[in-house]
Amino acid sequence: MWRWWVIVVLTLGSVAGRAAEFPQHELSFTSRGVQLSGSLVLPASGEARAAVVFVHGSGPQERSIHWAERFAAAGIAALVYDKRGVGRSDGDYESQQSVSGMNISLLADDAAAALAALKAHPKTQGVPLGFTGISQAGWIVPLAAEKSGAADFMALWSAPVCKVSEEDIFSKHTADNDGAAVPSYREALAARKTPYVWPDFLGTDTDPVTSLAELEIPGLWVFGGNDGSVPVDVSIERLQSLASAGYAYDYVLFSGLGHNNMTETFATVTDWILRLVEKD
């Protein structure tokens, strides 16, 4: 049975302080012939209750040590890595066609390779493994999980559960601006003056639902009600449809929060992961 929650944020509690030090291990792994570089951050005790790969949003992102330390503080090991062509990772960063079907598939291969490296590390033997990420990771993670076959769960922030073209229609209409009265996707579509045409040169118009329908792992999506970048209404409709068909997909909707809501909602994801692995 699918479950959903709407959470009204009245006050923001203080963020738990990070431990003085978390053990870190440098990791290198290969994806499509390119060496990528990352850091595995462990809980202060050195023992993890679960382990995750954190997948980037859009842009030339380096490894997110801050978020890895937040996971570690909750008892979850986290592998964060520099996107290909960024930081200490080799390869070329795709800046012009980052949402093309080819690039989404490439980044999914990178994420799957990161999970394989996480699975092989001595400090993560026998613990449940999962994908986490934000925004653009909503297209990458389901495909990576399908390709990998090694993920036990996935948890995503502000991640579209719709085609790239649908997100493009919405975000162009809103100019990516969060707000208390963001339009619905249907309003954004109706406001167009000309029909939307997906460019052939971008290849596949990635639809995460295609991969989500092939997976048999639980997932959590965290949304902000004021998100002007992702059509939250359509994403929730798709998740509800999948959950009604028997998939273990949950979501949480925080009113008053926008697209970049990880700071305020981080414990929602770590608590969900720990409940999940303790249940198993």
Residue 129's nearest CA partner among 114, 143, 139, 140 is: 114
pTM: 0.91
Q: In terms of residue numbers, what domain contains 83?
A: 4-9+23-279
SS3 30: strand
Structure tokens at 152: 């036990």
Instruction: Determine, yes or no, domain membership for 112.
Output: yes
Q: State the total domains in the chain.
A: 1
Per-residue pLDDT of the chain (280 residues; tens, 9 = 90+): 334 444 444 333 333 444 448 999 999 999 999 999 999 999 998 889 999 999 999 889 899 999 999 999 999 999 999 999 998 999 988 888 899 999 999 999 999 999 999 999 999 999 999 999 999 999 999 999 999 999 999 999 999 999 999 999 999 999 999 999 999 999 999 999 999 999 999 999 999 999 999 999 999 999 999 999 999 999 999 999 999 999 999 999 999 999 999 999 999 999 999 999 987 6
Q: Give me the residue label for tokens 């394989």.
A: 116
What is the C-alpha to C-alpha distance for residues 244 and 238, in angstroms, rounded to an integer? 10
Give first-to-last CA distance, the chain, whole Å. Answer: 18
Q: What is the CATH number of the domain that holds 211?
A: 3.40.50.1820
Instruction: Determine, yes or no, domain membership for 274.
Output: yes
Residues 6 or more apart whose Cβ sits within 8 Å of residue 123: 25, 40, 42, 46, 48, 77
Instruction: Determine, yes or no, domain membership for 141.
Output: yes
Structure tokens at 213: 């329908």
Instruction: Determine, yes or no, domain membership for 16.
Output: no
Answer whether 68's CB lies under 8 Å from 19's CB.
Answer: no
Instruction: Determine, yes or no, domain membership for 15.
Output: no
Instruction: Determine, yes or no, domain membership for 18.
Output: no
Instruction: Determine, yes or no, domain membership for 17.
Output: no
Query: Residue 72, CB half-sphere, CA atoms under 13 Å: how many?
Result: 28
Structure tokens at 124: 């993560």
